[in-house]
Amino acid sequence: MATDNSRLPLMLVMPWQGSQPSRHRNGRWMPGLSGNPRGRPTNARLAAKRAAVGRWPDLERAAGYEGLAPEQFVRLARTVFGRWWQGALSRDLDISRRQLIRWAEGDQKISHAREMMLLTVCLRRARAGHALVRAMYRRAAAAERARQELAQIPRHKPLPRR
């Protein structure tokens, strides 16, 4: 008897270990597990569930944010400011480089006010860089279109026939 491998669970789950998986390996809902034969809960059912539960889970999730992890901070700073991010970021935030190193190593936690200021500075700098990249891309694309148009124009006038 042939089996449908896509409906098999990812791993064997014992009854005391929790419920069976509700999604395929590729992330889609498995049919029948959510109560909907097509697999995904209907929007009406999701709206009813949200209305019954209220905003509590959303607020609880948002309130559980613990701030930037040191790895996230370093990745963000390197992405926005480049390889030598410490000097540029310390000038923009008007704090010492040593403080940035403490944040990067995880010795001190970034306060919420400082995190908001940091994200504002990074966003402003990234937007400026993004605008520059967009302008340069438009210029390069216009040059390529002009080259293609020039290539289609004959380079010499054809001689008239006698």
| Domain region containing 137 | 70-152
Nearest to 106, CA basis, from 83, 73, 77? 73
pTM of the model: 0.55
Number of domains in the chain: 1
> Has residue 21 been placed in a domain?
no
Determine, yes or no, domain membership for 76: yes
Q: Is residue 143 a part of any domain in this protein? A: yes
pLDDT of 3 reads 52
Query: pLDDT means per 10 residues in the chain (162 residues)?
Result: 55 59 72 62 83 81 86 93 94 95 95 91 89 86 90 78 80
Distance CA 130, CA 136 (A): 10
